[in-house]
Amino acid sequence: MKTNSGSKKRFTLTGTGKIKRKHAFKSHILTKKTTKQKRNLTHMGLVDKADVNNVKILLGLK
């Protein structure tokens, strides 16, 4: 099965098999957001366990 091209650019696997993702709302219209907001959006997050199966299908892992 083919890997979804958009997904492989957006998600990465950790060594333990979890899926890392970037936070949304950090690409434009940044002037009205506080410095604290922007700083906290910089860090990577993990995909919620409710969405893990769908993301793994997109990445061709299932």
Ordered by start, the domain boundaries in the chain are 5-58
Bridge partner list, 23 = none
Tokens found for residue 58: 């997109």
Fold of domain 5-58: Factor Xa Inhibitor (4.10.410)
19 CB neighbour count, 10 Å cutoff: 20
Per-residue pLDDT tens over the stretch 2-61? 999 999 999 999 999 999 999 999 999 999 999 999 999 999 999 999 999 999 999 999
Euclidean distance between CA atoms 1 and 45, whole angstroms? 27
